[in-house]
Amino acid sequence: MKQKKILLVEDEINLRETIQDLLEHYDYEVKSAENGQKALELLDNWLPDLIISDIMMPVMDGHSFHQIIKETKTLNQIPFIFLTAKNDEKEMEKCLLNGADLFLTKPFKIETLIKIIQSKIKRFDELKSVNKSINPTESNYFLHEINTPLFGILGSVNLLLNPKHNLKEKEIDFFYQTIKTSGKRLDRTLKNSILYENLKNNNLDFYENLTSDIANSFSKVKKDIADFDKAQARRITSSVEECAIKIHNKYLIFILFELIDNALKFSKNNKKIIVTGKKFNTEFYELLIQDFGIGFSEDELKEINVCKQFNRNQEEQQGLGLGLFMSKSFIEKTNGVFSINSQKNVGTTIKVFLPLKKG
């Protein structure tokens, strides 16, 4: 059976190490942090089955940390247990009313903690099996993203096979191209959904010793975009210098394709997007992707998440909304840095720093 994962947040080092050792003795995979801020950094790249947190901590206390967890779609269902040395009924009431699963007062018996952990994780597993709110395939858009290209394929095939239509060569070529484009879109939707499931379950290997040439990866991505739509590919103005990046090529191609595709989707067809890449220093390569499209508000940028699509009613989009979320995750998992600067009706600039191959 796969190890269950626990995040332990406790500023007192001796207690933190003692609890971690005990939990590992009971065969849990444990990561620990000394405050809420450090815990959030861990959660960027790792999803636990349960969180245990102290309340009184420096930098970011337990209440502030818990509030962020509650407001984050991919984290807010994870069981959350507060540990505290204060036997205070008002404090307990505050924690429980704010949505914590349990309030446990120090000192406590490890047997009691283990029983509570087992119960909460079991309940979380049951919840995940029936409530798919963090599963992109449960989105209303998933069926749309499957059915739209499927109808394009089946409709074109029916027309091609029906001799009554007496199609001209130009029309036949058009339907063949529709089948090809629709097939690629369907393939991308299914692969991204599977990739997300593996990311969510920590089943991806990020091959820390492998490198990729970013200029070659970019050329491959531009060709793939042209296969979908040559006019879209012509909108890309680029200057991407060759460099060895410390990331597996399949993840680099995914990041480049999704970020460039998003820039194209969120800007009008007559506007260029600019892609530039160069060595920033001895440690990082800087990649900039700039569009002059609809832009996003500050609140929208905070909601970059699974299945989140912006202005779908005004701007018809294709895709599940996984691309931006997973690109950000892949960049951070390979020790890169991801940031967005955007302004409504002006445009968006995505800046990425990717680690260089040493030497």
SS3 (DSSP) at 10: coil
Please, what's the b/e burial string for 166-187 (b: 16 or more CB within 10 A of its CB; e: otherwise)? Answer: eeeeeeeeebeebbebbeebbe
Strand 284-291 and strand 337-343: the pairing is unpaired
Please state the rounded mean pLDDT for residues 107-124: 87
| pLDDT over 80 at 14, yes or no | yes
pLDDT of residue 314: 42
Residue with tokens 């509570």: 116
Residues 232-248 pLDDT 10s? 899 999 999 999 999 99
Please state the rounded mean pLDDT for residues 8-23: 93
Total Cβ atoms within 10 A of residue 296? 21
| pLDDT over 90 at 285, yes or no | yes
DSSP label of 335: T
Phi, psi of 275 (to 5 degrees): -120, 120
Strand 5-9 and strand 337-343: the pairing is unpaired
The structure's pTM equals 0.60
Residue with tokens 């569009």: 291
Nearest to 49 by CA among 125, 126, 119: 125
- Rounded Cα gap, residues 167 and 176, in angstroms: 12
**Residue partners of 318: CB distance under 8 A and separation at least 6:** 145, 148, 185, 265
- Rounded Cα gap, residues 9 and 31, in angstroms: 9
Name which of 46-50, 145-149, 301-305 the model is least confident about: 301-305
